[in-house]
A and B are shown apart, each in its own frame.
Chain A
Amino acid sequence: NAGVTQTPKFRVLKTGQSMTLLCAQDMNHEYMYWYRQDPGMGLRLIHYSVGEGTTAKGEVPDGYNVSRLKKQNFLLGLESAAPSQTSVYFCASSYRHSISGANVLTFGAGSRLTVL
């Protein structure tokens, strides 16, 4: 099984350009997430989805949009890229968890985005 696959792995953009990061999972997970990670920092949640057709804002949603049209895919869009969005982006997915159950996230390999 591939697990969680992110494309592209690397991308360089100019300020103001737009792009979409694609995340695909083959584990039939209900939940999907987009995080960004800046040097020396933890993972900050951008947007997440608890099911097909639903999305919600995380900690740092400004400047990003997402869509979950199919259960296995979660797209992250940047409409007008800014240098502050230079980061490594990680997609993750998990099963629907019970109240006391672990929310075990499976991460993709990451997408490194540079905005000039």
Chain B
Amino acid sequence: GQSLEQPSEVTAVEGAIVQINCTYQTSGFYGLSWYQQHDGGAPTFLSYNALDGLEETGRFSSFLSRSDSYGYLLLQELQMKDSASYFCAVRGAGKSTFGDGTTLTVKP
């Protein structure tokens, strides 16, 4: 089976940097994805890591350590619109399994 753990809530101020961690246990691991979801709307894809290291996409970066079964999403220069839920997801054969999500609240 597959299981993922991520913090339930994170709070930060506008302009700051925040890191959302994700640890996973899985068989047949291909990669780790991150999705953003605003207020129960459709989740949208942010980033994907198949190999160890850092992937950067604008203000967002994602890191993976396969040996530690660990990854994180780094959000820089936080904006109010970044307040949302963030999900890590493990990609297996033909499907993705999601964590329970981290609710990020950005304060002025």
Contact = CB atoms under 8 A, between A and B. Distances in A.
Interface in B32-91: 33, 35, 40-45, 48, 50-51, 87, 89, 91
Nearest to A101: B50
A107 B37 CA distance: 11
B50 A107 contact: no
A74 interface: no
Contacts of A103: 30-31, 33, 48, 91, 95-96
B41 A110 contact: yes
Contact of A42 (B30, B33, B44, B98): B98
B95 A48 contact: yes
Contacts of B33: 102-105
A58 interface: yes
B108 interface: no
Interface of B: 4, 8, 30-31, 33, 35, 40-45, 48, 50-51, 87, 89, 91, 94-101
Given A33-B96, A48-B95, A90-B42, 8 more contacts: A33-B95, A43-B98, A50-B94, A90-B43, A100-B30, A100-B31, A102-B45, A107-B43
